[in-house]
Amino acid sequence: MLVSVTGLLDDFSLIDRVLEGNSHAYGLLVQRYQSYAYTLALRVVKDPMAAEEVAQDAFVRVFQALKTFQKDSKFSTWLYRIVLNQALAYMRKKRPEYTSDFPLDRPETQEANQELLREERKMHLDRAIAGLSTDDRTVLTLFYFKELSLEEMSEVMGQPANTIKVKVHRARTRLARALETTMKEEVHSLL
């Protein structure tokens, strides 16, 4: 039995136990990765309730396909691919609307003003990302928010690492243009 430094069973050991019929082991896998699955789904679908549904559907698919998982790659990479596929399938069915979580009722203090500026920057970034294609959002999410390497992204997306590198560069360029446009519009609205 393989055990990590923290004393928890590693992913492969948990998978073996699930395949032997241990449902508690599957619960541990879900618990270990549910926030990652939810976050990835949320970055793609931009709707918290839909992201929860996508993540749950992904875990159902994982359970159904677990016997086909080959241990030549990380479980997390395989899971991310399934979550991504579920999120993209959701996006094909429904078009999400952008909603802002910008707080409007903060007290006017120095610290609150700094927080408002951070929230405003985040809002602009979220709006710019929401305006990108699903492919660009996915690439940026995996690279910057999930901090996957190009090789890991290559496995998740099923494309060569060089292709992923080009996609990251192009998505970053499109994001910069979108942010520039958003900021220009903001300045013009103030004048």
pTM as predicted: 0.53
pLDDT computed for residue 108 by the predictor: 46
Of 1.10.1740.10, 1.10.10.10, 3.90.550.10, 3.40.50.2300, which CATH number belongs to 1-97? 1.10.1740.10
Per-residue confidence band for 111, with pLDDT thresholds at 50, 70 and 90: low
pLDDT in tens, 115-163: 656 767 777 787 788 888 988 988 988 888 888 889 988 888 889 999 9
**How far is 66 from 64, CA to CA, in rounded Å?**
6
CATH of 104-191, picked from 1.10.3720.10, 1.10.10.10, 3.20.20.70, 3.90.1150.10, is 1.10.10.10
Angle at 141 between CA 136 and CA 144, to 5 degrees: 115
Name the β-bridge partners of 3.
Answer: 9
Contact status, residue 172 vs residue 140, Cβ threshold 8 Å = yes
- Supply the angle between the helices 11-19 and 23-45 in degrees, to the nearest 10: 120
Sequence ranges of the domains in the chain: 1-97, 104-191
The pLDDT-based confidence of 112 (bands split at 50, 70, 90) is: low
